[in-house]
Structure 1
Amino acid sequence: MTGVAGFIGSHLSAHLLAAGDTVVGIDALTDTYDPALKLRNLDELIPHPAFTFHRADLLEADLSRLLDRAEVVYHLAGQPGVRRSWGRDFALYTRRNLLASQVLLEAVRNHPLRKFVYASSSSVYGDAPAFPTAETVCPRPVSPYGVTKLAAEHLCELYGTAYGLPSVSLRLFTVYGPRQRPDMAFARLVAAAQSGDPFPLYGDGEQTRDFTYVRDVVTAMRDAACSRFTGVANLGGDRPVSMKQAITAVERVIGPVSLDPRPGRPGDARHTGADITLAARAFGYRPRTDLLDGLAAMAAHAAIPRRSSIERSPSPNGSA
């Protein structure tokens, strides 16, 4: 698994280990946000006898060694964030989202994989013309980030056509839950409600998002890997809400949120909403977590102070 120390990667690893799988995790621990937070994400994984961690950049790693005996590859590594993908930083997004994916696909193209699972994004749709949005809608990204995620999807399809690589690209719709990246909306909302600091609200608050709980996402990822399905599928929460409604939900769970209204920013889609019919049919996907329950889990996790055991030990198990 690439991106193993990230928000989704750490949850997926725990899910796979609980299912009896062996996980070889790779992560460069980049500074997209505090690497100490990523190290803490590995705390419960490192002691597990079926888990090994390698700190490595995909563009520099000995992938043939790391992929030895792999049956499934989950590719979650990448440079996140819509708003930062403009201008000079686009080179970084190209390197980490596109070039790194190509190098990994090259490494597995002749490998007898059962499945290559790529974590794509709803950002590929941009301002979609229809809601809920099905996979048949022509993608029209409105951010450079979305462009790189779509290009990596195309690479997966190309390697499937040219080399028979069985790949699944899962378009994730606004995943939230404990350990969410600190720059994402719900993480900032929960922090604002708990601290009393103002929450910067971009736009008028009427923009909608299809919030998807992380446990539902990682369950679907393994189900997709175990299925016969190949191609592209949406993973959404099946119940889009506006940012105003999201703020109200956080206030119900935690308490009042002070708002700092700001203008909308380039690259932010006005609305997102997933048609999950294909995923339901292909590998039994069904989101089960209520928004208030998911937010309560986030709030409980955020209230617990943590210090990573890896921070106290300079040599993680199996690190490269």
Structure 2
Amino acid sequence: MKILVTGAAGFIGSHLCEKLLQDPSNEVIGLDAFVQKSPTPVLVREYNLRYLLPHARFTFINQDLLHVPWSEILPGVDVVYHLAGMPGVRSSWGEDFKTYVTNNIEATQRLLEGCRTYPVSKIVYASTSSVYGEKTNQVNEASTTVPLSPYGVTKLTGEQLCKVYATKDDLPIVILRFFTVYGPRQRPDMAFHRFIQHIRQNKPIPIHGDGLQTRDFTFVGDCVEAIAATAHASNIIGETINIGGKERASVLDCIAILEELFDRKIDRQFLGKASGEPRHTWADISKAQSLLGYQPKTNLRTGLQAEIMDLSQTPYL
């Protein structure tokens, strides 16, 4: 199977490429633009590719989705995983919104145009729990979508574009909504990465709000199992599927686990509430279990331990 992964040098994208290459019948093309305004520095993304670049069945293309010549890439491709985009809720306000429009909306539309011209068997669009907005209970895929941030708006717009092309051109779309993915190679702007770095530097952990906000934390290894399963899953075209984790916890719960893992008391620095972030997220993953055979295995303690180990071995930190 020939597979294209956009955003291949990113946190989830690099893990996904490695997972796909475990199948000797797969050939993977990784595409990444190394967008300068991304919260993941170029040095980090280059490091994420260290196991992929030498692989015989992996081809890397450093190019912007807005300018890539689809006639040279898409013919012969079976599955497209569209993970490329500008992440981050807090940085999506103000002037930087233009970057989100370009990378999350315009780039998605151009990819869909390419797949319209050079048909593939599946297009998997990586979306986010941010499209749901503020919800108090467990959410399934039929829940209303009311994003709280410009980032969430651009990802929901990407979903809508996918549906428009699916309706008009019969594109084989599958939408996955990720819930707070963490683990090795997590982006530097994400909470656990920042928490661990502050602890290592003996600095207080910055907490937005009261720390009682909860998240459905999804370990990256579990997440890519679900993504990879879409390649062979039947009867999923046109579906939107939540990908959540094994364990839901509050920020203060997570800090308590970090205190155990580091075997010391951690200072906290409470800040104002962050704009655009829901107080709670909680995924109903029954559809993923049914359609993808998905079953998250990694608990929070084990996942945090893996992220700590990864950061302790990262040479640029």
After superposition, give the CA deviation of every residue in 1:6-37 in whole Å (9 maximum; x if it has no partner): 00000000000012211101101113132101
Aligned length: 306
Q: How many angstroms does 1:63 deviate by?
A: 2.0
> Where does residue 262 of structure 1 map in the other structure?
271
By how many angstroms is 1:238 displaced?
4.2
Task: Kindly state the Cα deviation for residue 226 of structure 1 after the two structures are TM-superposed.
Answer: 1.5
User: Which segment is superposed worse, 83-92 or 105-114?
Assistant: 105-114
Structure 1 counterpart of 2:114: 107
Preserved contact between residue 13 and residue 45 of structure 1 (Cα < 8 Å): yes
State how far apart, in whole Å, the 2-side matches of 1:22 and 1:36 are. Answer: 25
Moved more, 171-180 or 230-239: 230-239
Structure-1 separation of matches of 2:174 and 2:266: 39
Q: CA RMSD in A?
A: 1.2
Answer whether contact 1:135 1:234 (CA < 8 A) is retained.
yes
Q: Quick one: distance in 1 between partners of 2:245 and 2:259?
A: 20
1:274 equivalent to 2:283? Answer yes
Establish whether residue 195 from structure 1 lines up as the match of residue 216 from structure 2: no
The alpha-carbon deviation at position 287 of structure 1 amounts to 0.5
* TM-score normalised by structure 1 residue count: 0.93
Q: Is the 8 A contact 1:143 1:266 kept in 2?
A: yes
Q: Which runs of 5+ in 1 are unaligned?
A: 308-320
Matched, 1:69 2:76: yes
Whose RCO is larger (CA < 8 A, sep 6+)? 1
The match for 2:185 among 179, 197, 213 is: 179
Q: Please, which runs of 5 or more residues in structure 2 have no aligned partner? A: none
Q: Which amino acid aligns with 1:3?
A: G
Does 2:216 align with 1:210? yes
Residue identity opposite 2:17 in structure 1: S
Conservation of the 8 A alpha-carbon contact between 1:238 and 1:276: no
Measure the CA separation in 2 of the matches of 1:305 and 1:243. Answer: 25
TM-score (norm 2): 0.94
* Superposition deviation, residue 272 in structure 1: 0.4
What letter is aligned with 2:213?
Q
Task: State whether structure 2 residue 126 is matched by structure 1 residue 119.
Answer: yes
Distance (whole Å) between structure 2 residues aligned to residue 264 and residue 42 of structure 1: 35
State the 4+ residue runs in structure 1 displaced beyond 4 angstroms.
Answer: none
Matched ranges for 1:17-166 at <5 A: 17-20=21-24, 21-31=26-36, 32=38, 33-128=40-135, 130-166=136-172
State the shift of 1:52 in Å: 0.8
Q: Distance in 1 between matches of 2:13 and 2:72?
A: 21
Task: State the shift of 1:194 in Å.
Answer: 2.0
